[in-house]
Chains A and B, each alone.
Chain A
Amino acid sequence: MFPALNNPPPFSPVLVAGILVRPLPITVIQSILDAAFQRILRHHNGLFERLDCLENPVFLIDPVDLPFVFVLDANVEQPRLQVCSETHGQETATIRGPLLILIKLLEGRVDGDAMFFSRDLLIEGDTEAVVALRNAIDDADIDIANDIISSLGPFARPANFAHRFASRFYNRLEGDLALLHAAISSARQNGPLQ
């Protein structure tokens, strides 16, 4: 969820996208999320079995560059992922960071401890539950794009093509925004724009 102005999120395409999707009804985002989550669960049946040592583990996943949060009910029998526009403070633990880092963590592409030590990620609440979630996710070998695309049957091929195109577009946009950010920072340091 967008933080206060004195603690801004990183300037990235995700932040821009977050601002653009803000007017969307939360139900629309929830529908998309439901479809993606069910497809991932289908690929990873026992995803939350390693959490069976915990009683009702519920995680607040807070991407700081999006205008909403996710609430993950990691119940082994009936897991659920909800999108919410506000937090309720009833969760077992909170995991807060930029969306791309959260996705890389989900896919085991970055080290969660390292992200925490470097302060790119914030953990609050029941640390044991977060450790168990990390271990469960690491065991599952999740690849979000591949898990979703491979479940699309005859549409898998065009979806894969679209994904590759979107990845290239994202990378270019990220580079352009970094350039824009550097130019604005430089102008602010050197006085008014000429």
Chain B
Amino acid sequence: MKAAVDSGADAVYLGFRDATNARNFPGLNFSRAELEHAIDYAHDRNCKIFLAINTFPEAGNAAPWHSAVDDGAAFGVDAIILADVGLLAYTASKHPDLRRHLSVQASASNPEAIRFYQEEFDVKRVVLPRVLTLPEISALNREIQVESEVFVFGGLCVMAEGRCALSSYVTGQSPNTNGVCSPACAVRYEDEGDRLVSRLADFTINTFAPGEAAGYPTLCKGRFIANGKTSYLFEDPVSLNAATMLQDLAAAGVSGLKIEGRQRGKAYVAKVVTSFRRSIDSTHDSNVEVDDLISVTEGQRRTAGAYDKTWR
């Protein structure tokens, strides 16, 4: 959080240390006391804190999610990011003045869905799924009355967020309810001398030759044999980087740029946020070089993802 604030972020997403947020990794996230300190630290530096409570409450056990909303409101977060309609209704009813953002986990990708969330729960901003092209974002923004926010850097999720069950299928845990995609407890790397093998639970997801850039073993970025040919069937190990499209995104009516970073180290956060701050502040200055950030990308490669969609 400090790295993001100190590097020039306008707002930082945080989560509690439990399954109420979609980055429930071991040793990560904030206790209640830490969140209070974080809010003070950020607000003193003119930075906002958004609290992510963007998993779907366990059936019959909504209390931890309600408690997270209540505590976030009491501590004075600037907005809460939600995905579940029940939780949106709870928040709108109990804390009507607390700003509500719609998480990408809600997978709202058309004007009708977004208008529903606005009319029913007074959502002020929607984080758009990473499946929309730039022209689609532009068209969507012309039809909605709320702010939109898009991912510009980080891991590239190619599935419909909030509805992907691949991780559950292999590990029994998913980002939707447990807050983890391909949880680290199910991940193993094995150095077999002539190759590095990555496994997720009982499945081999990939093998890497010596010196070949490696990736995290999510099922959607595995290398598989199909029809006798070995390839990345869904997506390569690659990171999204839309740094060269900032003007286009602004022209498309986007209000917020989202950098994935909650489960990444502070060196990564500082490097990426600094780079984007510089790019945003010099959008109209063509003499300022944009850092390609290759050194912190998965697979040492980058893509514009769906913004510049091409099909195989």
Q: Which residues of B contact A135 (CB under 8 A)?
A: 25-28
Cβ B298 vs Cβ A117 within 8 A: yes
* B185, A127: Cβ atoms closer than 8 Å: yes
Could you say which of A118, A124, A130 contacts B300, with CB atoms under 8 Å apart?
Answer: A118
Q: Is A99 an interface residue (CB 8 A)?
A: no
- A129 CA to B189 CA in the complex, in Å? 13
Interface 0/1 of A111-144, CB less than 8 Å to B: 1111011110011111111111111101100000
Number of residues of chain B lying within 8 A (CB) of chain A? 35
Q: Which residues of A contact B28 (CB under 8 A)?
A: 50, 131, 135
In the complex, which residues of chain A have a beta carbon less than 8 angstroms from the beta carbon of B263?
Answer: 131
Interface of chain A, main secondary structure: helix
A112 touches B185 (CB 8 A): no
Question: Does A13 belong to the interface (CB within 8 Å)?
Answer: no
Contact A124 B191 (CB under 8 A): yes
Check: B188 CB closer than 8 A to any chain A CB.
Answer: yes
| Shortest Cβ gap from B303 to chain A (Å) | 15
Q: How far is the CB of B253 from chain A (nearest CB, A)?
A: 32
Binary flags per residue of B161-198, CB closer than 8 Å to A gives 1, else 0: 00000000000000000000001110111110000100
Judge if A51 is at the interface, Cβ distance under 8 Å. yes
Question: Count of A residues near B, CB < 8 Å?
Answer: 32
| Chain A residues, Cβ within 8 Å of B183 | 128
A53 within 8 A of B: yes
Specify the chain B residue showing the minimal Cβ separation from A94.
B191
Cβ of A110 within 8 Å of any chain B Cβ, yes or no, is: yes
Question: Across the interface, do A136 and B190 meet the contact criterion of CB distance under 8 Å?
Answer: no
B211 in contact with A54 (CB, 8 Å): no
Instruction: Mark B248-261 against chain A: 1 for CB-CB distance below 8 A, else 0.
Output: 00000000000000
Asked if A108 lies at the interface with its beta carbon under 8 angstroms from chain B, I say: yes
Binds A, one of B80-88, B105-113, B212-220: B212-220
Shortest Cβ distance from B273 into chain A, in angstroms? 13
User: Is B93 an interface residue, CB under 8 A from the partner?
Assistant: no
Complex CA distance for A139 and B25, rounded to whole angstroms: 14
Inter-subunit contact B213/A119 (CB<8 Å):
yes
Q: Does A109 touch B at the CB level, under 8 Å? A: yes
Which residues from chain B sit less than 8 Å from chain A, CB to CB? 25-28, 183-185, 187-191, 196, 208, 210-216, 237, 263-268, 271, 295-300
Q: A111-B296, A123-B189 are in contact. List 6 more A-B contacts (CB 8 A).
A: A53-B27, A113-B264, A117-B214, A124-B188, A127-B185, A138-B266
